[in-house]
Structure 1
């Protein structure tokens, strides 16, 4: 018996409709989730393979999913990045990971192209491909309802695409259930190219546990700690919208403004889009399967402009990306744009970066201000930008170009517009704190998937941890000092290793190390793995293993995308212009200091400092 696992991996060849099962046990070296996904992708995805039939996409739940652990419900999606050509990994919440395992499978390896539209049904240990033609064109909420109507089973969860994925927009993504996005790398377009509308999981299988009583006691302890955690309380009170959107609770969190030309929004400018401004429309809160920290909002707004808006979600990246980064200060327009991203199956970050780029291009006269379909490109024009989101989802007008991603759009438009494209490794950037928070910025620069902070960017600076805590946990008293460069290369590398572990286990990063460092104890994480699976290791070995996976991902991006040290860069804007006001007024990056951070980062990882590339894959099997 393989404890903590369902015990099976399913191979799906859509070209010939072949479904083949394989035991999970031979792959335990890669644990599960992101670790397993990155390994399988690296092994099977051929460099240079261009056709959809040759593309692989891996969907995997970790060993701590469906075990009863609090906040243990995450699913990893791994593929070659449609925007960068390198690695793409996403980590999505909702119910899908639990239902995947309860339906009898730990991971899915999908390749080939179906001759007709299909969806994959996983139900109580059996798999089948079903006709998806009646589901074509459906947006996410309608897709969910159609699947529930077809199967009449409230255990159902799904991972699927909306119209944006069907239209093969590179900024499209997979959506789990209603509002959980696997938002990186164009996973929606990969499903669209494969004519795969969704994966549906239905099941109630009990997952075998190595030490059931020991895990039960640990779950009781964790629930008590979560219930007394200030970070968890902050998430319950306002979600990430409250924690980090529009300045956050403290007012100290930076935010991207007008294509990241600035990172400061005054309190008066922030007020209309802060979390408490939305409470008049809130109808409840939601979270993932078995989660005691419901960080998602549900809203119902009667809008004179858009009619009734029923929406779920609203994380900080939506507030930043669809409001301040576009110059919007209307809750109504923000909520509508966010809802459309959910419904079309669009990655908010990719949409934000592409539309903000177009707005600045129009401002500088590179493209016409007036576009087809009622789109007037001007900062703060909410109704026009809502129309632009629709165009991106439908693949029409300017939206067809922007749906390719900001890098490709800039290449197509030309005329010097490339300097206005905020990208890292060809992936659009929807961020904050790039000029002021050194470790945060470095994590985004060095991200193997490009453009985002959910890899090596720590929360230590935003949380302003004390010098004492920084010294005790990271051996760096400046870990919580945003403006300090010293020791930040090592800190980012360590964070990469921790994040790999969290993603591979199937835990929620918000609590396990992101907002509450007391849950980032690698020895305790190793204990959780042992109680569930019987795999015995310590925190040091676990970190080493996490950095091994990170190195594997770096090798993939180098081999498939050609990335090296020269690409671990932010646009010059963040070095040449400073924050205009607020607590970080005058902050900007310095090339000399950034290069020192990069040197430290590569050296800690054992990579070649000159090229930023791994010399070889380090040892570090969890079974050693």
Structure 2
């Protein structure tokens, strides 16, 4: 097969220790086999795995990769994947960021960037097409993410630059720190910001001026026009533009799956004070969108009065509204906006931060953590001032914040009893869906290759709505399908939300790929490539010591039933979960311990993967 478009077929490799750049020419076979984005990232991580000694050492690498559809005239085609080994979990990691950053990488002439080593002093990487320089970032030390981006654009005299940066949390190696771009676009999960910080890399600044390669532009434009028309005709399109992911608050609370008071319960009495309607009525002042996206799900919000007056931020999305609302007992939307703003500036993941703060509140409530250990702060549900102070302490690694900054494993090491309080999988804090009533979602979290995140599979709504009579085999199958199709979007460099929220047909992406690259393909073929990548990330995790025990959700799921709401009394049964996990392994072609079998690797053309 011969690539005729879609790819630049070049990877920029930057060794910060040696201040040396190298451009790698990518073969047709590699490009197509691993598609792009997370697929390229996973394969490159595998090839370097034996040399990576510690996630925060110079030996770790970061692969930053858009996909073959990034930057094209297609809906929501502005996604960048960051792949590495996580400092939070010690396992494979990737995180995904929207906005314009992916487009600029492609316009600079690259399909991916590999960062190696560690700069001698705090630096930023400046890429201007073929010109690549490591520059001193001393001036920006300690600045927040949003302020760093603003100052860099001002100093470089170009508002059109695309910048990915870390804040104080990344510099301080907070293990769930993130990479921020364009105000509130974040590679939020798995601690990518700490990896940048460990490399003395404050930011990457990109300016690209090159045309993107497309095989059949006429066909691509026709497909794109049809896709836009289809999305705009959806009955929920206008509502989605108005509220974005904040629409989920009312759904999750009514369904009884909204984490409340550190996942102890699943319904929040004051959900109607922190939902999309409150945002739209009292706080929203504008919309934002990622590249080429008609859905425009970003909400710009302003606090107009009260103690948080003047706070303006893009967000929150549902995950943040839940983690800094119901899960910590806050019923003040203005406070949620302030927490969102602080997390963006410090550069910390809102999911992990809200999850861990809630666990610390409960630990204090139960006497596991003392007042002295909390630096004299008496923590209570809904105490927004103390919660804001905890965000600051985490970002600065001050006092109790220094312990929380180590993530789930750090807290459990310090206070072993917290293992029963923290909702996490593989060391990654669980996102905002309670799974005690939905075994498919528990399995999705448990077998996610990065830990407790819903990006790999979000099956809970379908199971609750229509899955009452599904067999365990059918339940395992839907998890596997979602874990195959959803990561495919990350490989292609596009957002999954048109498919998830507006029902856009996933088969269209095979047509997009064919028009862009000149290689005719089908959805089935692309899904096979995505399945192969899931087996590569599984192999990475097995090599790094993951076992079957890492595929189980948290203690609370099995031991404490839901107390109120429509799903009262529900909890997972460990025996049933073990059964579905074994079915899942079998359907994946993995052995009884979850290790991919040789025949599976052979079927997926991964015979060089040795576990």
Is this a same-fold pair by TM over 0.5?
Answer: yes
* 2:539 is aligned with 1:552: no
Partner residue, 2:583: 600
Partner residue, 2:24: 22
SS at match of 1:53: coil
Residue 374 of structure 1 deviates from its aligned partner by: 6.8
The 1-side partners of 2:457 and 2:308 are apart by: 39
Quick one: structure 1 residues 388 and 483, their matched pair in 2 at CA, closer, same or farther if it must change by over 3 Å? Answer: farther
Residue 586 of structure 1 deviates from its aligned partner by: 2.5
* 2:250 is aligned with 1:210: no
Residue 350 of structure 1 deviates from its aligned partner by: 1.3
Residue 592 of structure 1 deviates from its aligned partner by: 2.6
* Structure 2 residue corresponding to 1:33, chosen from 26, 32, 37: 37
SS at match of 1:189: helix
Partner residue, 1:277: 278
Give deviations 1:116-162, integer Å, cap 9, x for gaps. Answer: 11111111332111111111111112111111112222321111100
SS at match of 1:519: coil
8 Å CA contact 2:258–2:433 kept in 1: the answer is: yes
CA RMSD of superposed structures (Å): 2.0
The 2-side partners of 1:21 and 1:49 are apart by: 25
Partner residue, 2:492: 505
Quick one: structure 1 residues 336 and 495, their matched pair in 2 at CA, closer, same or farther if it must change by over 3 Å? Answer: same
8 Å CA contact 2:266–2:565 kept in 1: the answer is: no
The 2-side partners of 1:114 and 1:595 are apart by: 46
Structure 2 length-normalised TM:
0.94
- The correspondence of residues 261-300 of structure 1 with structure 2, limited to 5 A, is 261-266=264-269, 269-279=270-280, 280-300=282-302
Give deviations 1:571-614, integer Å, cap 9, x for gaps. Answer: 23112222233332322212232223212211111111x20111
Partner residue, 1:543: 527
Give deviations 1:485-512, integer Å, cap 9, x for gaps. Answer: 4511111111111122111001111113
* 2:321 is aligned with 1:319: yes
- The correspondence of residues 484-523 of structure 1 with structure 2, limited to 5 A, is 485-512=472-499, 514-521=500-507
* Structure 2 residue corresponding to 1:336, chosen from 335, 338, 361: 338
The 2-side partners of 1:380 and 1:142 are apart by: 29
- The correspondence of residues 187-586 of structure 1 with structure 2, limited to 5 A, is 187-242=192-247, 244-247=248-251, 251-252=254-255, 254-266=257-269, 269-279=270-280, 280-369=282-371, 375-414=377-416, 416-458=417-459, 461=462, 464=465, 478=467, 481=468, 485-512=472-499, 514-521=500-507, 524-560=508-544, 562-586=545-569
The 1-side partners of 2:516 and 2:464 are apart by: 31
Quick one: structure 1 residues 253 and 365, their matched pair in 2 at CA, closer, same or farther if it must change by over 3 Å? Answer: closer
Higher mean displacement: 293-302 or 73-82: 293-302
Quick one: structure 1 residues 371 and 52, their matched pair in 2 at CA, closer, same or farther if it must change by over 3 Å? Answer: same
Q: Which runs of 5+ in 1 are unaligned?
A: 467-477
8 Å CA contact 1:73–1:93 kept in 2: the answer is: yes
The 2-side partners of 1:356 and 1:338 are apart by: 15
SS at match of 2:462: coil
Higher mean displacement: 443-452 or 578-587: 578-587
The 1-side partners of 2:354 and 2:301 are apart by: 21
SS at match of 1:515: helix
Higher mean displacement: 441-450 or 532-541: 532-541
- The correspondence of residues 73-222 of structure 1 with structure 2, limited to 5 A, is 73-222=78-227
Partner residue, 1:7: 9
Q: Which runs of 5+ in 2 are unaligned?
A: 607-611
8 Å CA contact 2:438–2:460 kept in 1: the answer is: no
8 Å CA contact 1:12–1:20 kept in 2: the answer is: yes
The 1-side partners of 2:219 and 2:464 are apart by: 33
Higher mean displacement: 368-377 or 53-62: 368-377
> How many pairs are equivalent?
598
Structure 1 length-normalised TM:
0.92
The 1-side partners of 2:237 and 2:548 are apart by: 37
Quick one: structure 1 residues 572 and 372, their matched pair in 2 at CA, closer, same or farther if it must change by over 3 Å? Answer: closer
The 2-side partners of 1:288 and 1:565 are apart by: 38
The 2-side partners of 1:303 and 1:395 are apart by: 31
